[in-house]
Structure 1
Amino acid sequence: MLRTITIGSCVSVQGLLVGQMADGKVMVRVDEKTYVGYPIPSKRAA
């Protein structure tokens, strides 16, 4: 499942969901690297 996370104040990364951490952060994998950050909430049309 693709997820988008923010790293810092203005950097976003989109990759495959690897896992979730206890503090609310998620891990995503892009190629050989794994990034950790806060998920961007998905917006759904009503």
Structure 2
Amino acid sequence: MLRTIVMGSCVSVQGEFVQSLPDGRVKVRVGDRVYVGRPVQAAA
């Protein structure tokens, strides 16, 4: 499943979901790299 996360104030990354962390952050994989950030909320 694809997920989008925000890293910092204006950098977002979309990749394959890896793991949810206890503090609410999410890990996603893009190629051979794993990024951690806050998930983007779906628009209403």
TM-score normalised by length of structure 2: 0.94
- In 2, the alpha carbon distance for the partners of 1:43 and 1:11 equals 18
How far apart in 1 are the matches of 2:2 and 2:41? 13
One-letter amino acid of the counterpart of residue 12, structure 1? S
1:43: how far off?
2.4
Stretches of 4+ aligned residues off by more than 3 angstroms: none
Work out the CA distance in 2 between the residues paired with 1:9 and 1:40.
Answer: 12
Map of 1:5 onto structure 2? 5
Matched, 1:19 2:16: no
RMSD of Structure 2 on Structure 1 (CA)? 0.8
Take 1:16 and 1:3, find their aligned partners in 2: how far apart are those partners? 6
- Counting aligned pairs with the same residue, the percent is 55
Structure ID, larger Rg? 1
> What residue ranges of structure 1 are gaps of 5+ in the alignment?
none
Unaligned runs of 5+ in 2: none
